[in-house]
Amino acid sequence: MTRAAAAILCKDLRIELRTRESVPAMALFALTVYILLHFGLDRDTLDGDLASGVLWVTLLLATVLAVNRLFANEREDGALDGLLLAPVDRTAVYLAKAAALFLYLVLLELVAVPAFALLLLAPGLGGALPELLAVLLVADLGLAAIGALVAALAAETRVRELVVPLFLLPLLVPVIIAGASATEPLLAAPQEADGLGGWLAFLALYDTVFVLVSLAVFDFLLDD
């Protein structure tokens, strides 16, 4: 299963490198939002809960873009049938898609977080960077786990552009609550790390639950 998942992941990354359809779109979207907020808000900088909310809502909406595209190359020319006909556990498909989405999110954040700090953040990232990275990575696991599941659910529907946000956003509400709550003191002045451990534990638990649920139901999603 690991070998098949690695093969599917490599294929997806190769296609993304050639088409540059997902990561650049996500990054451009996030940058655009931050620039709009930079000029649109009646204040020069943000901190605390507002900064945290802006950061997470933008990342969440950028995730929707990637989830919409996650099975795009499988839909063209019936390529998904090729996967389904191969002696490959459906779980490998899920793991590969989730891993691809996780990598896309990490790449997005490499661009979006510095841009956010530069354009909007009053206290700067400063010494809170390691804690912020930890929150982002654990939250990314949840976004990827849930995103891959919803992408598969929407893959064979004609209204996938509607299905993805309608299913994805409600499922991600706990992630954004935990992520924003964990990040808020890190983006405040002065920076603190109050309750960080608890929120990280909550995120890890939510990630685990969704990975297990996804592994249990993914076979049925790709079935006729």
Closest CB to another protein among residues 19, 32: 19
- Our CB check for another protein shows the closer of 99 and 196 to be 99
> Given candidates 86, 173, 201, 216, which one binds another protein under the rule CB under 8 A?
86
Exactly one of 28, 88, 171, 204 binds another protein (CB under 8 A); that residue is 88
Instruction: Judge whether 183 and 56 are in contact, CB under 8 Å.
Output: yes
Cα distance between residue 186 and residue 195, in whole Å: 11
In eight-state DSSP terms, residue 131 is H
Contact string 155-194 vs another protein (x = CB under 8 A): ----------------------------------------
Instruction: Specify the residue, 44 or 159, whose C-beta has the smaller distance to another protein.
Output: 159
Q: Segment near another protein (CB under 8 A), from 8-16, 49-57, 97-105, 106-114?
A: 8-16
| CA atoms of 39 and 44, how far apart (whole Å) | 8
Report 40-59 residues binding another protein (CB under 8 A).
none
Euclidean distance between the first and final Cα of the chain, in Å?
A: 22
Which residues between 66 and 85 bind another protein (CB under 8 A)? 73, 76-79, 81-85
18 interacts with another protein by CB under 8 A: yes
Residue 46, SS3 per DSSP: strand
Please tell me the count of residues contacting another protein according to CB under 8 A.
24
Alpha-carbon dihedral angle through residues 207, 23, 36, 59, given to the nearest 10 degrees:
0
- Residue 167 CB contacts under 8 Å (≥ 6 apart), including other chains: 150, 153, 154
Shortest distance (Å) from residue 155 CB to another protein: 14
3-state class (DSSP) for residue 43: coil
Closer residue to another protein, CB minimum distance, 23 or 196: 23
| Burial classification of residue 50, based on how many CB atoms lie within 10 Å of its CB (0-12 exposed, 13-18 middle, 19 or more buried) | middle
Q: Which stretch binds another protein (CB under 8 A): 61-69, 86-94, 157-165, 172-180?
A: 86-94
Distance of closest approach, residue 6 Cβ to another protein, in angstroms: 8
- Indicate the residue type of 195: G
From candidates 11, 24, 38, 165, binder to another protein by CB under 8 A: 11
Shorter beta-carbon distance to another protein: residue 93 or 128? 93
Rounded distance, CA 146 to CA 132, Å?
Answer: 21
What stretch of H or E contains 169? helix 160-183
> Which residues form the interface with another protein (CB under 8 A)?
3-4, 7-8, 11, 14-15, 18-19, 73, 76-79, 81-88, 223-224
